[in-house]
Amino acid sequence: MVPSALVLGASRGIGRQIALTLAGAGYRVGVAAKTVHDTPKLPGTIYTVSDEITSRGGHALPIPCNVRNPEEIDNAVSTCIQEFGGLDFAVYNAGAILWEKVIDTPLKRFDLMMDVNVRGAYVMIQAVLPHMLERKSGRILLEAPPIYSRFFNGKAPYAVTKVGMTVLVQGLARELENTGVSITALWPATTIESHVTTVKGVPPAFFRKADIVADACLAIAQEPTERLNGQALIDEDYLRSLGVTDFSKYQCLPGTEPPRIMPPRFPSLRVEEEDQVTIPDSKL
């Protein structure tokens, strides 16, 4: 059976490349995002990405979806299930970002990040879970980082929303044990080429192509076991664990490896009393 995937936040950047890579590997892809009109200021839509996929012989289904609207996420999920006959892989790549201190982050912007990052991911998960659990098969991926203290520096409001996604991954993973369904977080080791890096004029020596994230994403989708359930992975590290050693094809400036922005190791969040129940019927 031909596999199927839904990518939320697929109109440009990493999401676009994930959709292209999945389609290139034979997936039927639901290309979902808010952007339906191309503009010079914000290039890329669900239709331009879908056209790229179909022009390469792939199968794409463009789906307008504002992730701040739960009904639109539900519609994206149900549309894929109906059109593809099922859904094997769901990717939440939609994101809102503002790297500012608490005092410089208006509540309106914080609410936007909470809605798009945490709440939107939660809605997508609730929409896909019944279908995947019934089939006893499925993979869910959130673009979220490992949890470590340096990530909070100077951008605590944003960090709250991204780390919240990671907590969702690690908490839900326990509920999914032995179900055939798994959830994983994925984050890049370096800055990734995007519309923002272009607008900001970031030199290409400082970032990689989005293909590296997309290749890691595809490998997660194709993992036959549940060993990645609950893990927060770094794209480069995960690909190295699969035997990849040459990362030159991901360089934006040939011959130059961009600086790594992620630590080489991350702290464990487990405690010795991990499975201890201190109070009956308590969640503490």
List, by residue number, the catalytic residues.
Answer: 158
**Amino acid at site 144:** A
| Residues 75, 32 contacting (CB under 8 angstroms) | no
